[in-house]
Structure 1
Amino acid sequence: NSKPKDTQQSMCTPVCLGASGMVHVLLREELLLKEHILKTIILGQMLSLFICGTAVTSQYLAEQYQVNTPMFQSFINYSLLLLVYTTMLAFRTGSDSLWQILKQRWWKYIFLGLADVEANYMIVKAYQYTTLTSVQLLDCFGIPVLMALSWFILRARYRLIHFLAVAVCLLGVGTMVGADILAGRQDSEGSDVVIGDVLVLLGASLYAISNVSEEYIVKNLSRVEFLGMVGLFGTIISGLQLAIVEHREIMRIQWNWKIALLFTAFALCMFGLYSFMPVVIKVTSATSVNLGILTADLYSLFFGLFLFFYKFSGLYILSFVIIMVGFILYCSTPTRTAEPTALPQPGSTGLDNAALKLEENDSETPAITVQFTRGEAVVVSTD
């Protein structure tokens, strides 16, 4: 009687171990997902703090010292990127050296630098024509544009929960705008609302183009290449535009150590934002990052309570919570990437030795190699 019992126990052991192993794998995946969401939240809020720093220093320069030089401030940032990252590329050798990158992709980076420079300029310029409320609302137009570009260019595929998460985040932005109106921060009607709104929409679209390009370059090439090329062409483009549109404003600046300190703080925050954002995008995605930095306006508001004596409203806390709920909801389910569906055609003229690898979700499924020879498909090996 003991022998069948031993046999039954030996047969049960692999099953029991398999079940416990499966539970262990599921628990480990759940833990990794929670760690990923927490990391994404922390990284996103660090970017928001950098943006908050640029907004507060710019506003302080404008209100306390009547200094409005967005292009000059951008020029300083691009110059820092040039000095650090373009110099790093200059010391590289081989296929990823500065000369090879310029030789192969120079015209693409000209368009990328132009989009990035003009996106920064248009958003800041829009404040002169339209209201703060319009800028905050219309700036969110970049998120659906970003998702559409990611769908077609990066082949990102979203689920229903992602669209719901974006809707929740935009609801949080609407709550924040409502709090601004109740607190009296909607400002005047602006000199020309239509021009200002168009500038915001164009700037948001250019930001989307820049962010999608950044995600592609960071994940397929390198972070240093992106920052080095943006620094190079951004410096050239912003320098030319600076000489045309802002040379008089710079001449009117009454320089002192406080103004110099504010310019330095702005430059360091912007440099930190540009240097750190590719790291976050590589871990997450451009869409996730743009949802996370929606809280930047709220951080600016909290600083404004002490620096500019803004009125506080409980709706600001509510809007922060809503945005974070939507952001966590978006990160809770990863997007998937669509695989290319084009297969080699065996009917082509001449020899066509193309190996086709069939990828299956189950890693234990044997891989089959198929060789096409003069229009005939023959299985040559099975792993």
Structure 2
Amino acid sequence: MDGHEEERLCGKWRVACGLYSYNLRDVFTWRLLKTIVMGQVLSLLICGTAVSCQYLADAGVETPMLQSFLNYALLLLVYTTILSARKGERNILQILKTKWWKYLVMGLADVEANYAVVKAYQFTTLTSIQLLDCFVIPVLMVLSWFFLKTRYRLVHFVAVMVCLFGVGAMVGADILAGRNQGSTSDVVLGDGLVLLSAVLYAVSNVCQEYTVKNLSRVEFLGMMGLFGTLISGVQLAVLETRAVAAIKWDFHIAMLFALYVLCMYGLYSFMPVVVRMTSATAVNLSLLTADLFSLFCGLFLFHYTFSTLYIISFVVITLGFVMFNAVPTYSALPESSSSEDDPAATADTAESSSDRLLTADARLTETLTEVAAL
């Protein structure tokens, strides 16, 4: 009996930690591969925004609110228009009647998060921003635990630590390479802005995950476009009127703005798809490689110094991301489905559900076999 009790307790511990007896085919599934690829596409889009911002800064153009406004305006033009054309409860007027203040908070968090992190570059170092920006991940996990009822296993916390170790390697490579660390005029203020940005991003991402998994992707993007345009438009008028007037427009500047806006539009449009497949936390782990893609581009465009630590960092972050997604999280809430505008996402949900059923059947069969043997 003692042996059976010990085996039962060990089994419970393995389940709690997520340490099942997987073989490679169970872990490296087509779904996981899609998740990895889609996450890196998001990182490449962020890389595109970073490169365009760097070129704009080199040209003397520093108008982050104008750039954000153009992105939100494009979302408004596309997705808010789609919402306006809908009928019944899915129409934009019906949504605003019941949930306007929720989307206002979400839009405010997103706009101010973008502004705070850009503003932080004026006061603190690049190293501080890279390190403190990772604060979004633990905040996301806490918010997901309380508001989305997401439950994590030990392997997920280990995976996050592995990813953060990869970020540490990247920051170390920056320091060893002597990369420009930016301003140090007010480090405390700058670091505070980065932490504020991380918290606001976490709030926005949790709202996004809830909306795309329980309502719809189009509703999320339409409301983000509407309130993001209004909020960023007001801030643009207050903060950047002179900076916008001072821009010396030419074809080169216009193309850089277009590149930035298209990359941001692609990021905002594509990110809900990946969030619905995985989670906001998993997506943010995959986005940790965005700085590395920017660095790789900088090797050719801005003549950064190469370091082997960059490659190590990329491999470590990817490993942590695979670990996080190899073992599924679970929810304390009953599952809900929003398939009105995401047939591909519905297929993924069905695929994951069938996988869970097959796994459950297999485990049940194994259990019955063991009982019969006894």
Give your verdict on TM over 0.5.
Answer: yes
1:204 aligns with 2:209: no
**Which aligned pairs between 1:107-118 and structure 2 lie closer than 5 A?**
107-118=101-112
Distance 1:34 1:68, change over 3 A: same
**Secondary structure in 2 matching 1:312:** coil
Distance in structure 1 (CA, Å) of the matches to 2:201 and 2:332? 24
Give, as a single letter, the amino acid of the residue that structure 1 aligns with 2:50.
Answer: A
- The one-letter code of the counterpart of 2:249 is W
Match of 2:325 among 327, 331, 346: 331
Compared CA separation, residues 99 and 28, structure 1 to 2 (3 A): farther
Contact 2:63/2:244 (CA < 8 Å) preserved in 1?
Answer: yes
Letter in 1 for 2:57: A
* Number of the residue aligned with 2:18: none
Q: Which runs of 5+ in 2 are unaligned?
A: 1-20, 335-356, 362-374
The whole-number CA distance in structure 1 between the counterparts of 2:360 and 2:39 is: 34
**Structure 1 residue identity aligned to 2:275:** I
Indicate the residue corresponding to 1:19 in structure 2: none
Contact 1:133–1:186 (CA<8 Å) still a contact in 2? no
1:130 match: secondary structure: coil
Structure 2: how far apart are the matches of 1:29 and 1:313?
32
Deviations 1:265-321 (A, max 9, x none): 000000000000000101111000000010000000011111111011110001001
The alpha-carbon distance between structure 1 residues 192 and 221, as it changes in their structure 2 partners (threshold 3 A), is: same
The residue identity in structure 1 corresponding to 2:46 is I
> What TM-score results when the alignment is normalised by the length of structure 1?
0.80
Report whether the alignment pairs 1:285 with 2:279: yes
Pairwise CA distance, 1:188 = 4.5
Aligned residue type for 1:76:
L
Higher helix share: 2
How far apart, CA to CA, are the structure 2 residues paired with 1:33 and 1:187? Answer: 38
- AA of the residue aligned to 1:131: T
Among 55, 73, 80, which residue is 1:79 paired with? 73
**For the residues of structure 1 that align with 2:33 and 2:360, how far apart are their CA atoms?**
29
2:311 to 305, 311, 317: 317
Q: 1:319-372, CA deviations, whole angstroms, 9 ceiling, x for partnerless residues? A: 0011011110111100011147xxxxxxxxxxxxxxxxxxx9979xxxxxxxxx
Aligned counterparts of 1:127 and 1:203: Cα–Cα separation in 2: 12
Question: After the TM superposition, which parts of structure 1 deviate over 2 Å for at least 4 consecutive aligned residues?
Answer: 26-33, 360-363
- Is the Cα–Cα contact under 8 Å of residues 132 and 185 in structure 1 kept in the other structure? no
**Equivalent of 1:48, from 40, 43, 47?**
43
Pair 1:124 & 2:118 matched = yes
2:57 to 54, 62, 70: 62
Q: Number of matched residues?
A: 318
Structure scoring higher RCO (CA < 8 A, sep ≥ 6) equals 2
SS at match of 1:187: coil
Indicate how the Cα distance of structure 1 residues 178 and 225 shifts in structure 2: closer, same or farther if over 3 A, else same: same
RMSD: 1.9
Q: Which structure 2 residues correspond to residues 1-383 of structure 1 after superposition, within 5 A? A: 30=25, 34-63=29-58, 65-339=59-333
Cα separation, partners in 2 of 1:176 and 1:362, compared to 1, 3 Å: closer
Partner Cα distance (2:188, 2:126) in 1: 14
- Look up the equivalent residue of 2:75 and give its one-letter code: L
**Secondary structure at 2:29 match in 1:** helix
Secondary structure of the corresponding residue to residue 148 of structure 2: coil
Q: Separation in 2 of the partners of 1:148 and 1:186?
A: 34
| Preserved CA contact (<8 Å) 1:131 1:187 | yes
Q: Which has the greater radius of gyration? A: 1
The Cα of 1:32 is off from its aligned counterpart by 8.0
Distance 1:55 1:74 in 2: 13
Please state how far the C-alpha of 1:185 moved relative to its aligned partner. 1.3
Point out where structure 1 has 5 or more consecutive residues left out of the alignment. 1-25, 341-359, 364-383
Larger proportion of strand:
1
Q: Give the secondary structure class of the aligned counterpart of 1:67.
A: coil
Q: For residues 126 and 32 of structure 1, what CA distance do their matches in structure 2 show? A: 40
Structure 2: which amino acid aligns with 1:312? F
